[in-house]
Amino acid sequence: MKSIIHRQPKLCRVEDKRVNMTEPIQVFNVCLWCCRYKPPSTESNPTLEDPTPDYMNLLGMIFSMCGLMLKLKWCAWIAVYCSFISFANSRSSEDTKQMMSSPAPRSSPIGWG
Amino acid sequence: MSVASTLCFSTFVAGPTMGRYNDDFDDGEDLADFDDNDFAEFEDMNDDPAAEAETAPPPRASPSSQPEEDEDEDEATVELEDGLDGFEDSETQDQDMYSKYDQEEFEGIGDMEKTGHSMKDPLIIHTVPAHLQNSWESYYMEILMVTGLLAYIMNYIIGKNKNSRLAQAWFNSHRELLESNFALVGDDGTSKEAVSTGKLNQENEHIYNLWCSGRLCCEGMLIQLKFVKRQDLLNVLARMMRPACDQVQIKVTLNEEDMDTFVFALGTKKVMARHQKELQDLSEFCGDKPKSGAKYGLPDSLAILSEMGEVTDGMMDNKMVHYITNHAEKIESIHFSDQFSGPKVMQEEGQPLKLPDTKKTLLFTFIVPGMGNTSPKDMDALLPLMNMVIYSIDKVKKLRLNREGKLKADRNRARVEENFLKQTHAQRQEAAQTRREEKKRAEKERIMNEEDPERQRRLEEASQRREQKKIEKKQMKMKQIKVKAM
């Protein structure tokens, strides 16, 4: 695992502002401290996280189970819609394979119904 | 139907055997011979008796087999004598077949005759029910659902592309300003070296981030482009009822030495009222109701929350007022705080035991014009606001409170801390008590586990002495307090 140092120096060329246009442009090499980006942890701020994809995922699972057990086709269709909505609202940090795998089993009750 | 099938089956079985039965009588044997011996018929016949037994149920033979038996009747004639009516066997059936059965002995014969007649009626062909048909009409539900799904997918693609274009348009218009002010523009935090990626991080289909760092007076700046969920059809329909707008949120984190101790906020009245309830620092340090910005030359729609008047006077200089007045419709809130810790944390156990960590932060929330129907050109209108942000960073660095202001600010912070400690006093006592008990228990366990009795005794004595000392100390303290009180 790469260790990323939070604060790193960076050399920059800075042009000084000229008061008089006849003066030559002065360029300095300045060392500036750059702080690296840290993704905000959702544990510290659970209210900021959008719960829609999780709720839709759960609803989709429930409806697909109902559709399968009770042989209700409309349940299965709602489950497919829920999985699509969950996918549309999901965070891109989640695994694409995991997201793709959810509509597949949910559509099976439609075929059996 | 089942009766008919039984009849069919029995007829198929019975048909050939009845023919054989008739043939036997062609030999001219007198039926009278059978009177003496009931079983004689079985002895004389060449076929096995099982075939004879099967002729017993012929009375129930279906009408469809009737033509067959009519033929049999043509082939063989049977002579019957009187007095043979008592026969329960199938002899009587040969002659009459279905039309002359004794009504008393056989049930359902009348029906059979009727069914025989119904054979002559024309066949009625019923239409096949819809769910058994193999046509488009039976799949209308599936077609509807698939159409809905296709519409959702189309909307997803269109919405995603629009959000992406808007984000790119924003970045293109702001890139030059950011690159001239920050050494690091665009960082995803994964590369080992601090190199500008020069592009936005896509967190979602509707949220884009940009991290800028490497500037004097600030640690870093996180810009979040929070668009409406154009990729979700449900959200699009919900926005038709309740319009929402795209937002740009900017969070500037400052170093410890870059900001003095004050809390200040400015924004629309509704948002200020909400923030005063929800945010930790605003609720603690800006207890007064939001004041109208008209006093400082700002539009009436904006309100100000401030820790002290000196801060407001210091912040609202001419340039700042000019910025805010010209772009008032695009500003949702501006929040400068040295005690920023986010929204109030509501824990289940009650108050948290420790004060939340604070950071010196400047927060800006801007509204993109267009109210949801934004075009890439509207992104250029936000450029002056970015200039205001850069100006604010430098302004905050320069703003220093005078002696009175500093004292007041320090007193406020001490008051907040004291209140917090009082509220959590009971919980902290409980926690301390638990820790002490835990310690005692661990020590006792250690003493018990000690195998050497001599060492055990010594450890016990040592712990007893320690407890005695503690008790004495407490007593001394109580005495001192009493003396002081006196």
Size of interface A-B (CB pairs under 8 A): 77
B183/A73 CB distance under 8 A: no
Q: What is the mean pLDDT of residues B58-71?
A: 46
SS3 letters across chain B? CHHHHHHHHHHHHHHHHHHHHHHHHCCCCCCCHHHHCCCHHHHHCCCCHHHHHHCCCHHHCCHHHHHHHHHHHHHCCCCCCCCCCCCCCCHHHHHHCCCCCCCCCCCCHHHHHHHHHHCCCCCCCCCCCHHHCCCHHHHHHHHHHHHHHHHHHHHHHHHHHHHHHHHHHHHHHHHHHHHHHCCEECCCCCCCCCCCCCCCEECCCCEEEEEEEEECCEEEEEEEEECCCCCCHHHHHHHHHCCCCCEEEEEEECCHHHCCCCEEEEEEHHHHHHHHHHEHHHHHHCCCCCEEHHHHCCCCCEEEEECCHHHHHHHCCHHHHHHHHHCHHHEEEEEEEEEECCECCCECCECCCCCCCCEEEEEEEEECCCCCCCCHHHHHHHHHHHHHHHHHHHHHHHCCCCHHHHHHHHHHHHHHHHHHHHHCHHHHHHHHHHHHHHHHHHHHHHHHHCCCHHHHHHHHHHHHHHHHHHHHHHHHHHHHHHHHHC
pLDDT of residue B207: 93
Whether B169 has its CB under 8 Å from any CB of chain A: the answer is no
The CA distance from B438 to the nearest CA of chain A, in Å, is 29
**Chain A residues whose beta carbon lies within 8 Å of the beta carbon of residue B194:** 8, 10, 34, 36
The CA distance from A22 to the nearest CA of chain B, in Å, is 23
* pLDDT, tens digit (0-9, with 9 covering 90-100), for B99-113: 566 767 777 666 655
Q: Where residue B16 falls among pLDDT bands split at 50, 70, 90? A: very low
Q: Where residue A35 falls among pLDDT bands split at 50, 70, 90? A: confident
A80/B211 CB distance under 8 A: no
**Share of residues in chain B with pLDDT > 70 (%):** 74
B184/A10 CB distance under 8 A: yes
Q: Where residue B14 falls among pLDDT bands split at 50, 70, 90? A: very low
A44/B342 CB distance under 8 A: yes
B193/A34 CB distance under 8 A: no
Which candidate in B149, B184, B188 is best for mutational testing of the A interface (most A CBs within 10 A)? B184
Q: Where residue B326 falls among pLDDT bands split at 50, 70, 90? A: very high
Whether B361 has its CB under 8 Å from any CB of chain A: the answer is no
The CA distance from A100 to the nearest CA of chain B, in Å, is 14
Whether A28 has its CB under 8 Å from any CB of chain B: the answer is no
pLDDT of residue B194: 80
Whether A98 has its CB under 8 Å from any CB of chain B: the answer is no
**Chain B residues whose beta carbon lies within 8 Å of the beta carbon of residue A35:** 213, 219-220
pLDDT of residue B59: 46
Q: What is the mean pLDDT of residues B349-356?
A: 66
Q: Where residue B333 falls among pLDDT bands split at 50, 70, 90? A: very high
Q: Where residue B58 falls among pLDDT bands split at 50, 70, 90? A: very low
Q: What is the mean pLDDT of residues B253-263?
A: 90
Q: Report the residue of chain B nearest A78, measured CA to CA.
A: B145
Q: Report the residue of chain B nearest A4, measured CA to CA.
A: B192
